[in-house]
Amino acid sequence: MALIKSSLLSDIRGSIGGTTYSRNRGGSYARNRTVPINPVSQSQVRARSSLSYWSDYWSNTLTSTQRASWNAYAETVNAINVLGEAITYTGQQMFIRSNTLLQLATLSAVTTAPLSNVQVAIAANPQTVVHDVSDEEMRITLSQAFTGTMLAFSGPPQSDGALSVKVPFRFYGFVVCSAVTQVDVPSAGLDNRVYSVGQNMTVRFVGVTSLGLVSNEIIMRGVAQA
């Protein structure tokens, strides 16, 4: 799916030929018109199950006061889409985002929104991701210390010269960090990619705290080594 920015197509919806146009809270977008399929990989099944669980939790378990806290919190969080436009998530989206990551990190759910909207920032210099195939760890060197739980999501192996970062990611693993700049994320062993020495990869990192604060994402390319 690609976001579009055009005065002529700002409110177009529907399908023309093989392209479908629509709009959501992230802005206007265009995508290839496709026939729905039902993928059944472990990662996809887990993602669907998690989304369904937390959506139901939002509707049927949270109190109206708790939902109101997430709605108010969402209004204070600044988010930017890939075109650099400011967007606002719903309270439900913020609740699901935080608790999906907490669930992956085996941390307790957060039912009331964080009291602070201060972003948990992570940053890294280019070309600082390494995957050691001997111990199945993803290592990222950060340019500033991070405290919280770091989660990694890996893309498929790529041959030398492949440059795309628009790849399907799978949950790789997580590690609890305490004011560190070198983060070694071990494999969680669930539906992970298999890499050979010398292959390129794309890795997505995101941090989360026990209070449900979620960091910005870092998407970087690395190389598998012995």
Name the β-bridge partners of 203. Answer: 154, 220
101-136 pLDDT, tens digit each: 999 999 999 999 998 877 788 999 877 788 888 888
Q: What pLDDT does 77 receive?
A: 86
Q: State the amino acid at position 23 in one-letter form.
A: R
Domains of the chain in start order, with CATH, are 2-32 (no CATH), 42-104 (no CATH), 124-225 (2.60.40)
Q: Beta strands of the chain (E only): which ranges?
A: 2-3, 14-16, 19-24, 27-32, 79-80, 86-87, 124-132, 137-154, 170-186, 200-208, 214-225
Neighbours of 78 (CB within 10 A): 9
Tens digits of pLDDT across the chain (226 residues) = 555 555 545 555 556 655 766 666 666 656 666 655 555 566 666 667 889 999 999 999 999 999 999 999 999 887 776 666 778 889 999 999 999 999 999 999 999 999 887 778 899 987 778 888 888 899 999 999 999 999 999 988 887 666 566 788 899 999 999 999 999 999 986 667 888 888 888 899 999 999 999 998 898 888 888 7
The pTM score is: 0.78
Distance separating alpha carbons of residues 122 and 84, to the nearest angstrom? 19
Q: Beta strands of 25-119 (E only): which ranges?
A: 27-32, 79-80, 86-87
